[in-house]
């Protein structure tokens, strides 16, 4: 069965953005070379990787150790954070803040360019 390195790259890219983590931070946390993280995130060198490397990167991203290996094998993986009540609440707070920002922008537009200035 062909390995899905594109899916691995996309998953890592998405997770880094979710965690606001840099490639360098991930490499340090996983104990792997920065080039390894770059290759995985951008699918630069699709080749066999050590199961230990994949597990270390998975765990450094807050996933179960087999998460990346399962993505690579084409398995359907559930979001391990889907049921985390803290993250559910955080998503709700983000939505509330976004709604407030839109309302403030609307009010400022109605008040005119001089509103809110000192």
For the cut 70, the answer to whether the pLDDT of residue 5 exceeds it is: yes
Question: Would the pLDDT of 82 be above 70?
Answer: no
pLDDT at 47 over 60: yes
Report in angstroms the alpha-carbon separations of 68 from 32, 62, 82, 102. Answer: 15, 11, 17, 37
For 71, the token pair is 């993505």
Over range 10-37, report the average pLDDT. 95
5-72 homologous superfamily: lambda repressor-like DNA-binding domains (1.10.260.40)
Contacts of 56 (CB under 8 A, 6+ apart): 30, 31, 32
pLDDT the model gives residue 116:
59
Claim: this prediction has a pTM higher than 0.75: no
Rounded Cα distance, 66 and 69, in Å: 5
Q: What is the mean pLDDT of residues 58-64?
A: 94
H-helix or E-strand spanning residue 35: helix 34-42
Q: How far apart are alpha carbons 18 and 52 in whole angstroms?
A: 23
Mean pLDDT for 37-50 is 91
């Amino acid at each position: 069965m062909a390995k899905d390195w594109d899916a691995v790259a996309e998953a890592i890219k998405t997770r880094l953005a979710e965690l606001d983590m840099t490639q360098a931070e991930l490499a340090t946390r996983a104990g792997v070379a920065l080039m390894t993280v770059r290759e995985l995130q951008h699918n630069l060198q699709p080749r066999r990787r050590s199961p230990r490397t994949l597990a270390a990167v998975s765990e450094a991203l807050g996933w179960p150790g087999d998460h990346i290996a399962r993505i690579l094998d084409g398995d359907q993986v559930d979001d391990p954070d889907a049921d985390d009540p803290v993250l559910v609440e955080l998503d709700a707070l983000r939505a509330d803040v976004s709604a407030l920002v839109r309302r403030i922008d609307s009010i400022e537009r109605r008040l005119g360019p001089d509103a809110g200035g000192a």
